[in-house]
């Protein structure tokens, strides 16, 4: 499955920063039950790799990926842990080469037109736009739609249920990434029914 097919599975990719390993599997199951099967586990905590591996092993319905991949070493760790795709906040030449060599479906991050063009030259057609809200949001995406025809984006950063529909209405937006479907307090309390309800609302959002 390539990155475009992964992005097409749901309008929202949950961006998950997991603090406790014990939360990983029930959190993933709640999100999948709500209709969000593509999950990004960010490499921002000490348990992230183990959390990713646990979800890959115990929640086969999930398409689990590694987020905040910054270099080739982290890319290799993600693959070894069972990641089915990767995501980066930006992308260097070295990381882009490693991604192409690995064959792992990947969503590289951009913030500027020049960065988007550089990745286009390397064959990437679906890009993460980050941090979306701070970098121009829907205004930026509308402005680049014509000059960057053929590229699509997954905006992430500062997006919640209130503004997600405005992003998803744009033809050059494939999906959005967001953490609102797994609020920190709900995860801390083990309130998986709340997570499932939020996931159902997000999965019901319409795309262009």
In this structure, the strands spanning 109-110 and 126-129 are parallel
- Quick one: how far is CA 156 from the chain centroid? 8
Mean pLDDT of 67-77: 98
pLDDT at 79: 98
Give catalytic residues, as residue numbers.
40, 128
- What domains, with CATH codes, occur in the chain? 3-203 (3.20.20.70)
pLDDT at 108: 98
Q: pLDDT-derived band of residue 41, with 50, 70 and 90 as boundaries?
A: very high
pTM for this one?
0.97
Q: Which residues contact 5 (CB under 8 A, 6 or more apart)?
A: none
8 Å CB contact between 146 and 177: no
pLDDT tens-digit series, residues 137-164:
999 999 999 999 999 999 999 999 999 9
The residues with which 93 forms a beta bridge, in sequence order, are none
Return the residue matching tokens 């590289």: 108
């Amino acid at each position: 499955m390539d990155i475009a097919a992964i992005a097409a599975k749901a309008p929202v990719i949950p961006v998950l920063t997991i603090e406790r390993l014990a939360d990983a599997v029930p959190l993933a199951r709640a999100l999948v039950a709500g209709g969000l099967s593509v999950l990004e586990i960010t490499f921002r905590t000490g348990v992230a790799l183990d959390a990713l591996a646990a979800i890959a092993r115990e929640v086969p319905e999930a398409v689990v990926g590694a987020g905040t991949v910054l270099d080739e070493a982290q890319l290799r760790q993600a693959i070894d842990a069972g990641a089915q795709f990767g995501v980066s906040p930006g992308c260097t030449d070295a990381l882009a080469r490693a991604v192409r060599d690995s064959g792992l479906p990947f969503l590289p991050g951009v913030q500027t037109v020049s960065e988007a063009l550089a990745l286009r030259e390397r064959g990437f057609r679906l890009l993460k736009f980050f941090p979306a809200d701070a970098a121009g949001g829907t205004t930026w995406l509308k402005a680049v739609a014509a000059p960057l025809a053929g590229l699509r984006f997954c905006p992430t950063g500062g997006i919640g249920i209130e503004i997600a529909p405005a992003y998803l209405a744009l033809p050059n937006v494939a999906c959005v990434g967001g953490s609102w479907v797994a609020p920190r307090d709900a995860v801390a309390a083990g309130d998986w029914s709340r997570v499932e309800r939020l996931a159902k609302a997000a999965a019901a959002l319409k795309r262009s």
